[in-house]
Structure 1
Amino acid sequence: MTRASAPEPGSAADVVRSWDARADHYLELFRDELEGKPHDLALFAGFARRLGPGARALDVGCGPCGHVAAVLAAHGLEVTGIDLSPRCIALARRERPGLRFELGDQRALDLDPLGGRFDGIVSNYSLHDQPKSLLPGTFAAWASALKPGGHLLVVAKAGDADGVVTDPLGSGIDVYWAEFTAAELASAAEAAGFTVERLADRAPYEQEIASQRLYLEASMPGESGLDAARRTP
């Protein structure tokens, strides 16, 4: 019998391989992580306020915890989380039974089963499993999934890494690990048609991997339906 070859590092199949293998480990690490990250909680709350109650938000690369989707939903958004890993989706559904989680690839979004375009997209460390060379295409996929005036929030780790490493968070498996500069994120966003509104960073909390955190906030041209409704007397 011929042994199946390993998937190409950073490919969709590789993301499934690595996350199916480490999803349970990461769930234990990160189930309640936002309770110790006031900066991030405030950022997600501000993002939800910008979209407005009832707006549709997509949490790309939601992982096994569903914690970002839960925070956004608590602020009144209608949230869908997607992930390539079946194990991540199974765990997220178990952890957050009142929320919607579906299998999906942020780099090739199929919007029909998700109910069409969204008012906002959040990427909370969803970019680290893929090569930097795929960054422009990922931002383009996000842009195509947003309504006019839609908003984007990206959280990423700053750095130069772009290759296979042993998982820094102790799962014991090899994973693709990419980090980014603020300029790389801004360039990819602008090439996809976004207007970059804010780029910020913060130092890591004591319990985090020792790298700066990057935050990009951007929007698509046009006016959202919610913005128009707010202007209507």
Structure 2
Amino acid sequence: MTSAPEPEPGSAADVVRSWDARADHYLELFRDELEGKPHDLALLAGFARRIGPGGRVLDVGCGPCGHVAAALDAHGLEVTGLDLSPRCVELARRERPGLRFELGDQRAPDLAALGGRFDGIVSNYSLHDQPKAMLHGTFAAWAAALRPGGRLLVVTKEGAADGVASDPLGSGIAVYWAEFRAEELAAAAEAAGFTVERLADRAPYEQEIASQRLYLEASLPEKSGLDASRRAP
């Protein structure tokens, strides 16, 4: 019997393969990681304030911990976590039973199943599993999933990596690993119609992988009053 072919590196099937295999390992490492990251907690709090209480937010590539979704939920947002890995979704639901986690692809979110467009999207290290060539398409998918005026927060690691590597998290498996430069993130955001409001970096904390962190905050234009009147029933 011949074995099934390996999925194309960086494809949706490859993301499922790699994250189903390392979800439990990741959960043990990062279940409470935000407790040691005051900068990131403050960033999420500011994002929540700008969205406003009750705003609908999609946590793309949420992983098995559900910790980002929980932090946003604590600020009064209606949060849905989205992940391609069935094991990640299973573990996130177990860890955060009061929150919503769904199976799906950040590059093609099923808005009908998710309840329509969102007020905000958070991508907390969700870009590292896919080739850089997909970056513009992913930002375009995020823009299509947001309402006019919707907000985006992206967190990545800075660098030039773009290919198969040994898992930096130490699971012992081969994974697709991409890193980004600030100008790459900004160009993809602007091409998708976002206005980049803030692009910053920080040095890694002592407990983190030794890579500079990048933070992009952006928003879509509000629909004009004229456009809104033309679309009114």
Pairwise TM-score range, normalised by the shorter structure:
over 0.9
Q: Are the structure 2 counterparts of residues 223 and 75 from structure 1 closer, same or farther at C-alpha, using a change threshold of 3 Å?
A: farther
Structure 1 residue runs without a partner (length 5+): 225-233
Q: Which residue of 2 aligns with 1:231?
A: none
- What is the letter of the counterpart of residue 146 of structure 2? L
- Does residue 31 in structure 1 map to residue 47 in structure 2? no
Specify the alignment match of 1:113 in structure 2.
113
Secondary structure, in 3 states, of the residue corresponding to 2:169?
coil
Paired letter, 2:203: A
Over the matched positions of the two proteins, sequence identity in percent amounts to: 85
Deviations 1:122-147 (A, max 9, x none): 00000000000000000000000000
Aligned to 2:214: 214
- Structure 2's unaligned 5+ residue stretches are 225-233
TM superposition shift of 1:26: 0.1
For 1:150 and 1:107, the matched residues in 2 are separated by: 17
Alignment of 1:112-151 (within 5 A): 112-151=112-151
C-alpha RMSD over aligned residues: 0.9
Alignment of 1:62-141 (within 5 A): 62-141=62-141
Structure-2 residue corresponding to 1:162: 162
Please state how far the C-alpha of 1:109 moved relative to its aligned partner: 1.1
- The code of the aligned residue for 1:36 comes to G
Q: CA deviation at 1:168?
A: 1.2
Who is 2:200 aligned against?
Answer: 200
Question: Any runs of at least 4 consecutive aligned residues in structure 1 with deviations exceeding 2 A, and if so which?
Answer: none
Equivalence for 1:56: 56
Q: What residue is the counterpart of 1:153 in the other structure?
A: 153
Q: What is the SS of the residue equivalent to 1:79?
A: strand
- Map 1:7-46 → 2, pairs under 5 A: 7-46=7-46
- 1: CA distance between counterparts of 2:111 and 2:61? 15
Q: Distance in 1 between matches of 2:192 and 2:36?
A: 33
Aligned residues: 224
Deviation, 1:3, is 1.3
Task: Determine helix, strand or coil for the equivalent of 1:197.
Answer: strand
How far 1:67 moved relative to its partner?
A: 0.1
Change (3 A) 1:202 1:64: same
AA matched with 2:33: E
